[in-house]
Amino acid sequence: MSVKIGYENLAGRLGVTVSSTQSATLNPVENVFDWLPFDFWQIDAVAVYPQISFACLSLQQCDYISFSAHDLNSLTDEFLLQHSFDGVIWTAVSGGWMPINSGVNFVSFSAVSDMYWQVLFRRDAGATSFQPKVGVIAFGSVLDIGQAPQIGFVPPLSRDYKTTSSKSLTGSFLGKSLRDHAGKMSLSFKHRSPAWVRSTWMPFHEHAKANPFFVSWDEVNYPDEAAFCWIDRNNDMRVPKYSNSVFMDVHMKAMAEV
């Protein structure tokens, strides 16, 4: 069991050109890598294998892909992440993955470096139309903490909610309303080396100040409990501190949507 954080996104790296093999006039491909779940990529017309392509100026390493705010689980037979050195001959990093659910999907794999990348969606044989909608896609180098969550960790089993009950003048129950909203996730990792904190944690710390990220707290046993997260308040992303003269502790509190 190891916490994995997906915050690097190849689409946002300098010199990477992103395009779609199909026209997407109203919902362009740029929407999938802006970290905003309320806008999305969707092609204009039905296609069997919709694709998003990424052309890089140099070799780029990837070992995870994650997405959220989508309808792939109801439309797609599988999705693939493919890579190529020349943009002509493509190799999939895996045989393909089935979308787990309508929420956050997170998959890691052995690291691969290449010049061209593409995300391809295969049509389910039973689908009468195929115009998949995807709000956020991120893939690149995963931050593998190499450590399980702390004791007392609350897994993102579902969205959080608040309820309001209504009563009559005599105190009789009239009904209850429920307001759904994002839950909370707290992660702490102790006794990390100062070198690891500075080289590995701090780049994520800087990213999380302004942008969302993905967290998979146990990809092996609970792959369907990954979350789309963001820092809500200034003091929720604490500056790492020394726990003794040798090691440091890191901590964060994030809002989490499953």
For residue 203, which phi and psi values (nearest 5 degrees)?
-60, -40
Domains of the chain: 4-144 (2.60.120.260), 160-257 (no CATH)
Residues 6+ apart with CB under 8 A from 95: none
Nearest CA to 81 among 100, 67, 102, 101? 67
Residues 6+ apart with CB under 8 A from 117: 10, 53, 54, 56, 60, 62, 81, 82, 83, 84, 139
Nearest CA to 208 among 252, 164, 248, 172? 252
The string of pLDDT tens digits covering residues 148-200 is 999 989 888 766 666 677 877 787 776 776 666 678 899 999 999 999 999 99
Gap between the Cα atoms of 42 and 32, Å rounded = 10
The string of pLDDT tens digits covering residues 97-108 is 888 888 899 999
Q: Which residue has the tokens 């690149």?
A: 140
**CB-CB contact of 50 with 130 (8 Å):** yes
Strands 51-70 and 134-140: antiparallel
pLDDT of res. 161: 62
Give whole-number Cα distances, 23 to 114, 192, 206, in Å.
25, 47, 35
